[in-house]
C-alpha cells in the first residue's frame, strides 16, 4: 500500500477562483451548447481532467460540478429524443400526403407539429425546462458562493463527490 500525504487544509484565493470557474464554465457551456444537452457535461469533465493534479478543494468542486451536470443528462436526452421523434414523424407524414397548393411548407409543418403534441409531451417538456432553469440558477449561485469561500454542498451529490474524490496530495510543488 502506497503512502500519501494528506492535503494542506489552507485554501488560497486562486483555488477558490479555480473551484468557482468549474461551475462558471458549466454555465457558459450550457449557453454555448444549446440545444445539445451533453456539451456542458463534456466541458466540465475535461475541466476536471485538466485539474486532476490540483488541490483537494479544487478537485472536489470540479467533480461536484460534473455530477451536477450529469444528473440532468437522462432527462434532457429523453426530452431531446422525444422532440426529434415528433419532428421527424411529422415531416415524414407531410412528405407522404398530397399537399394542397395554398399551404406553405412552414405553415403546414408548424400546425401539424403543434397538433401532434400530446399532453404528456407538453407536461414533460415543461417540467424539464423548469428543472433546467432551477439547476442553471443553482449552479450560478454555487459559483458565486464558492468564490466567496463557502463550501457549497449539493444534496446527495456532495456525498457521492466525497466518495469519488481522492485525498491524496497530487501537487508536488505545494508545501
Partner 1 sequence: MDSQKVDLYLMTNAKFFQPQHLNYIRERLLLLDESKWFMIQGIDLKDPTTILIVSIVAGSLGIDRFMIGDTGLGVAKLLTCGGLGIWALIDWFLIMDLTRQKNMEKLQQFLQ
Locus of grid cell 439547476: 135
Residue selected from 1, 13, 95, 119 as contacting partner 1 according to rule CB under 8 A: 13
Per CB under 8 A, does 21 bind partner 1? Answer: yes
Residue selected from 4, 46, 103, 105 as contacting partner 1 according to rule CB under 8 A: 46
Cα–Cα distances (Å) from 129 to 37, 53, 63, 119, 125, in that order, read 12, 36, 24, 15, 6
**Number of chain residues interacting with partner 1 (CB under 8 A):** 25
- Measured CA to CA, the distance from residue 65 to residue 8 in angstroms comes to 22
Residue from 9, 23, 27 nearest 51 by CA: 23
Per CB under 8 A, does 129 bind partner 1? Answer: no
Residue selected from 16, 19, 25, 143 as contacting partner 1 according to rule CB under 8 A: 25
CB 26 within 8 Å of CB 63: no
> Who contacts 99 (Cβ-Cβ below 8 Å, separation ≥6)?
108
Per CB under 8 A, does 34 bind partner 1? Answer: no
Per CB under 8 A, does 12 bind partner 1? Answer: yes
Per CB under 8 A, does 84 bind partner 1? Answer: no
For residue 60 the three cell numbers come to 472536489
Residue selected from 24, 66, 67, 128 as contacting partner 1 according to rule CB under 8 A: 24
Query: For 55-83, b where at least 16 C-beta lie within 10 A, e where not — what string?
Result: bbbbbbbbbbbbbbbebbeebbeebeebe
Per CB under 8 A, does 144 bind partner 1? Answer: no
Residue selected from 47, 65, 76, 79 as contacting partner 1 according to rule CB under 8 A: 47
Q: Interface with partner 1 by CB under 8 A: which residues?
A: 12-15, 18, 21-22, 24-25, 28-29, 32-33, 39, 42-43, 46-47, 50-51, 55, 171, 173-175
Amino acid at each position: 500500500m502506497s503512502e500519501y500525504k494528506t492535503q494542506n487544509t489552507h485554501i488560497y484565493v486562486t483555488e477558490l477562483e479555480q473551484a468557482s470557474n468549474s461551475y462558471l464554465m458549466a454555465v457558459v457551456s450550457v449557453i454555448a451548447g444549446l440545444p445539445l444537452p451533453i456539451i456542458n457535461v463534456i466541458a466540465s469533465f475535461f475541466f476536471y481532467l485538466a485539474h486532476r493534479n490540483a488541490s483537494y478543494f479544487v478537485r472536489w468542486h470540479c467533480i461536484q460540478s460534473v455530477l451536477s451536470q450529469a444528473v440532468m443528462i437522462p432527462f434532457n436526452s429523453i426530452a431531446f429524443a422525444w422532440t426529434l421523434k415528433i419532428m421527424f414523424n411529422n415531416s415524414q407524414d407531410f412528405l407522404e400526403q398530397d399537399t394542397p397548393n395554398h399551404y406553405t411548407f412552414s405553415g403546414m409543418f408548424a400546425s401539424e407539429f403543434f397538433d401532434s403534441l400530446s399532453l404528456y409531451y407538453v407536461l414533460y417538456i415543461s417540467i424539464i425546462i423548469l428543472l433546467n432553469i432551477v439547476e442553471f440558477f443553482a449552479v450560478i449561485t454555487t459559483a458565486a458562493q464558492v468564490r466567496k469561500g463557502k463550501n457549497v454542498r449539493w444534496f446527495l451529490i456532495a456525498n457521492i463527490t466525497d466518495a469519488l474524490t481522492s485525498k491524496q496530495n497530487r501537487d508536488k510543488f505545494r508545501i
